[in-house]
């Protein structure tokens, strides 16, 4: 289907989501690739990765209503050279999410809610977080995981550890908000976190 959701937050951040229902050939008909994009696209061999790659560019075309220049650092972090803006990208099995802002650092994560996340909680929860979270609460576990994934994307150059440098507090499930904290060495940041369920996925986005 075309764009599943578009949202603007505080006139500063825009988020767009694509639901991956189309085959590759249909996605290719929706956007004519440049010569450079064709070269990049031809390198991709995994069918799912190719569809995600196309959906990302369709979302950016939708958000900017025209040309853009998306590149990747050696670390794999995406950057927008034209227009000059912050960008974050995430995908699950069925969705691709993009967050962009010309003025604010942003991070986004979308994950399919699954039961096996409980087995992984020691990889992303601080000990004090694990003490207050019910290990059977899949929404809470995915919120902490998704928020830390999104924050990691924002500060990946500092190589933060999920269980040491990234934390979540003031979680409000009614308002679907929380406060994220990045703290490493002499750097301390508080981040606005918002979340919502998108069908059987949890979308989390963070704004500095």
What is the C-alpha to C-alpha distance for residues 34 and 51, in angstroms, rounded to an integer? 16
pLDDT tens sequence across 46-87? 999 999 999 999 999 999 887 788 888 877 889 888 888 999
> Do the beta carbons of residue 193 and residue 180 sit within 8 Å?
yes
Question: 26-35, 127-136, 198-207 — which is least confidently predicted?
Answer: 26-35
- Residue 181 CA to residue 10 CA, distance in Å, equals 21
Radius of gyration of the chain (CA): 17
Mean pLDDT of 149-159: 95
Average pLDDT, the chain: 93
Share of the chain above pLDDT 90, in %: 77
Q: What is the mean pLDDT of residues 130-148?
A: 95
Note if the bond before 206 is cis, omega within 30 degrees: no
Domains and CATH numbers, the chain: 3-103 (3.90.470.20), 110-207 (no CATH)
Of residues 68 and 17, which shows the higher confidence score?
17
| pLDDT on residue 1 | 64
Q: 1 with 27: CB under 8 angstroms?
A: no
Q: Per-residue pLDDT averaged across 14-42, rounded?
A: 89
Q: How far apart are the first and last CA of the chain?
A: 31
CB 117, CB 141: distance < 8 Å: yes
Q: Mind listing the pLDDT tens digit for each residue in 89-122?
A: 999 999 999 999 999 999 999 999 999 999 999 9
pLDDT of res. 54:
93
What is the signed CA dihedral for 120, 126, 132, 136, rounded to 10 degrees? Answer: -10
């Amino acid at each position: 289907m075309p764009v599943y959701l578009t949202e603007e937050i505080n006139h500063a951040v825009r988020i767009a989501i694509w639901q991956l229902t189309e085959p590759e050939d249909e996605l290719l008909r929706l956007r004519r690739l440049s010569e450079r994009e064709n070269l990049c696209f031809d390198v991709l061999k995994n069918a799912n990765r190719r569809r995600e790659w196309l959906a990302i560019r369709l979302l950016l075309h939708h958000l900017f209503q025209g040309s853009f220049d998306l590149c990747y650092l050696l670390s794999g972090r995406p950057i927008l050279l034209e227009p000059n803006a912050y960008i974050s990208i995430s995908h699950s099995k069925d969705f691709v999410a993009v967050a962009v802002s010309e003025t604010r650092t942003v991070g986004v994560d979308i994950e399919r809610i699954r039961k096996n996340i409980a087995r992984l909680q020691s990889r992303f929860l601080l000990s004090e977080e694990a003490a207050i979270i019910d290990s059977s609460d899949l929404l809470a576990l995915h919120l902490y995981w998704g928020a830390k994934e999104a924050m990691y994307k924002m500060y990946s150059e500092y190589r933060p550890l999920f269980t040491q440098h990234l934390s979540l507090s003031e979680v409000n499930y009614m308002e679907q908000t929380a406060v994220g904290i990045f703290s490493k060495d002499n750097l301390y940041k508080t981040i606005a976190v918002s979340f919502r369920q998108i069908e059987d996925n949890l979308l989390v986005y963070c704004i500095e």
